[in-house]
Amino acid sequence: MFLGLQILTLSQETSLPVRTNYFESLILNTDRDLYFAGEKIWFKVSCFDNEQGSESIMSKIVYIELYDYKTVTITKAKFRIVSGIATGFIKIPEHLSSGNYYLRVYTQFLRNYSPNLYASSLISVINPKKTGIQDEKTLNDDILIIPEGGILLAGISIKFALRINPILMKSLNESIILDNNKNIISEFTPSENGLALVKFTPESTSQYFLKLMFHNGDSIIKPLQLVIKNGMLVRSTYGDSLLNISLISNSVYSDKLKTDYKVEIRSQNYNNLLVRNIKLNETIVIKNNQIPEGIIYVLLKNKNDEIIDVHSKFISKVTSEVVVIRKNKDVYKPRELVELNINLPGDWSIKDKYLISVTKEYTHINSKNLLPSHISYNPIFLSNYLKNVIVDSDSLKRQIDIALILYSNIYNSKKFKGGFKKKNIVWLPEIRGVSISGKLINKNTKTPLSGMMVYASVFGDSKQLHLYKTKTNGDFIFSLNHLQGKQNVFIGIKPNDTLQAKILINQDFSNEYPYSCSIPFNLDSSYHKSLERIYVNALVNKAFEHCADKVNEDISYYTSLNNDPGDSFLLKDFIDIPLMSEVFDEIIPFVSTRKRKEQYSLSIYNNLSGKTHKDPQVLVDGVPVFDLNQIMKIQTGLINKISVSKRKYYIGDYRLNGVISLTSSTKDFAGIEFPDESVFIEYLTVTPE
């Protein structure tokens, strides 16, 4: 059993003199990191307004996805955010292959930003019933060597980071750097997780190699990058509460280039903190009160504002004290109360949020002074990791610095650099519940259609009706509140003979993914006994899984119609009448039909107000019908009930002149033919808790 304290931390940008834009920060926690196929991943998402440091974020829905390194979604769901917290579980499919998978969470609002900013974790899955793993990468290929600044510059002292698969580390005897004359340049010992940092000064006339020698006599030789004779690199160091940024070049290169550059400092959420001009072989110094704690990005730009280089630094809190956790005993019985005494450093606030985790052995990646090996493969894991741990050791800080150098190629990819570009706010926070949005365009010209009324209805057991007039860009959005699971949704408009329209529905889950790679599945025979116990526990949980009785919630309503259901009439209580027009005229009181130029219309008389309302909204099984000729063609034997609401109703800013609702005995809306531009979809709403 492991017992650990995690602090749910945020970048302290509130202390900066200039207030940044609103941003929603999410922190993801799971009950463990290791699961068997078919098990449930229990999670908790803590949601914060990054500027206020509070739980007052606008979004009320969080999206969670489990996907593989090829960005193929395994399972996904939506959960409510209540008082800044979303909790629940997603189930791992029983057919899923053994391997490592990505788990990420975000809100609709966060889709305005790079997917690199979504909180992400690694989930390891074991499937004892299925041979093979998700991706079997050879150990020899799983060695990465990256110099600081991305290049080996002749005559410039350089540090480079190494990552060696931890499986290789178990049999590693010696590791050295050689030149092409087989001279030993450096000897070093990687840490247990395979990370190392080596420093030397390369010469332009030499080629350098990494050589790993193992206890069985085998060896692996990997070439380093070629040495660059003329070039430049940007380097950052942090110490004594100062960030030093240097633009370094050799003398030949710097004499030829007199171009001025600028350095931008971006926060963990890509906010622009400050800009400084810099020249070749110049160092600029930035005090720590100008930058937040956590990860910052250093962008080198040319005079055309093009990004030349991206790297990052970890700005850590300076403290000489550590967190101390004391238990009242070492062994506990099931259900026994555990008493803990926690001593926090003097400068830590008791108002901050802390998380105590108790996990089974080997089910969590846990090491106080070593970075979990998977984090060095992909930077998307680091942010969420740092929000869940206390970095209070120099060794862990060094490990983070190594990982940041290893990310160099990812940082400088076109896709990652593109994430720093400012984007317009397109995705609005879901302030009420799950939303569905889209755009209305001209089918022929593809131009947006503005000012058009769009209707959305949820039909089936949970009926809802919504109206929205499109914006100038053709956009529309509906909030589908009080719904759970998959729902049938109709979206349509009134037919227009002079206009051919097309409804485009936005994908509810993000189709943008950050950098993704295969991460080694490093479980060997040393884990056998522990995994056997975990597997037995999983089988027991499955056999005795308790399904709580479902609480049926009354979620059928027409936004503002629920207080007055109106008058209802069961047609079976009356004599058979063959025509729907006669049903309205003879059976349904206060409703009258009219036919003019071969087109039917309906009106409702309100006996209380003495007024007649023309063109009431007609629904069939909860779906709006605009062509009343279609209603009159329905065989009366297919209709069970007709309900009439006689007064005017307001749905937002829009008015309905009463409602006539027909309930059929069929699954095809009594044979109604809907306009071609109508959209019927099965839409995922909130996952039942």
In a domain, 340, yes or no: no
CA distance 198 to 190: 10
End of a domain among 196, 228, 260?
228
- Res 212 pLDDT > 50: yes
Distance CA 574, CA 375 (A): 71
Express each pLDDT in 564-617 by its tens digit.
557 899 999 999 999 999 999 999 999 999 999 899 999 999 888 888 999 999
**How many Cβ atoms from other residues are within 10 Å of residue 322's Cβ?**
12
Instruction: For residues 173-195, give the mean pLDDT.
Output: 94
Alpha helices in 104-225 (DSSP H): 166-169
Give domain status of residue 588, yes or no: yes
Cα atoms found within 13 Å of the Cα of residue 554, Cβ hemisphere only: 4
610 located within any domain: yes
| Residue finishing a domain among 181, 198, 228 | 228
Show the tokens assigned to 24.
Answer: 């929603």
Per the domain annotation, does 645 fall within a domain? yes
Amino acid code (one letter) for 427:
W
Q: How far apart are CA 170 and CA 173, in angstroms?
A: 9
> In this structure, what token pair is assigned to residue 192?
């247990």
Region of residue 446 (left: phi > 0; alpha: psi -120 to 50; beta: else): left
Dist CA 41 CA 282 (whole Å):
50
pLDDT at 16: 33
Assigned domain for 589 exists: yes
Q: What strands lie across the sheet with 567-570, from one edge to the other?
A: 567-570, 639-645, 659-664, 617-620, 623-625
Q: Which two tokens stand for residue 557?
A: 């309503």
Render pLDDT for 660-680 as a digit per residue (tens, 0 to 9).
Answer: 999 999 989 999 999 999 999
Higher-confidence residue of 53 and 193: namely 193
Amino acid 167: pLDDT: 85
Look at residue 15 in the predicted model and tell me its pLDDT.
33
Q: How many separate domains does the chain show?
A: 2
pLDDT averaged over the chain? 87
Q: For residues 199 and 157, is the Cβ–Cβ distance under 8 A?
A: yes
Q: CB-based contacts of 595: which residues, under 8 Å, 6+ apart?
A: 581, 601
CATH number of the domain residue 192 falls in: 2.60.40.1930
CB 24 within 8 A of CB 50: yes
Q: Is residue 167 part of a domain?
A: yes
Of residues 130 and 319, more confidence is placed in 130
Please state, in angstroms and as integers, the Cα–Cα distance from residue 125 to each residue in 99, 432, 464, 535, following that order: 5, 35, 40, 12
Q: How confident is the model at residue 526 (pLDDT cuts 50, 70, 90)?
A: low
Residue 622 has pLDDT above 50, yes or no: yes
As beta bridge partners, residue 620 has 623, 662
Q: What is the pLDDT of residues 345-402, one digit of tens each?
A: 766 665 566 677 676 665 555 565 899 999 999 999 999 999 888 887 889 999 999 9
Mean pLDDT lowest for which of 34-38, 110-114, 330-334, 343-347?
343-347
Q: Evaluate if residue 638 carries a pLDDT over 70.
A: yes
Judged by average pLDDT, the poorest of 105-119, 158-172, 513-527 is 513-527
Residue 168 lies in a domain: yes
Structure tokens of 38? 């078919």
pLDDT by residue (tens digit) across 102-147?
A: 999 999 999 999 999 999 999 999 998 887 666 655 555 689 999 9
> Domain with 596 in it: what CATH number?
2.170.130
If pLDDT is split at 50, 70 and 90, which confidence band does 333 have? confident
Q: Which residues of 584-594 are buried (b: 16+ CB within 10 A; e: fewer)?
A: beebbebbebe
| Residue 171 falls inside a structural domain | yes
- Lowest model confidence (mean pLDDT) among 13-17, 242-246, 345-349: 13-17
Q: Which range marks the domain in which residue 195 is found?
A: 152-228
Residues sharing a CB contact under 8 Å with residue 259, sequence separation 6 or more, in sequence order: 280, 302, 303
User: Does pTM surpass 0.75?
Assistant: yes
Summarize pLDDT for 486-497 with one digit per residue, the tens.
999 999 999 887
**Which of the listed residues 176, 208, 228 is the one where a domain comes to its end?**
228
Q: Write down the pLDDT at residue 560.
A: 43
548 vs 214: which has the higher pLDDT: 214
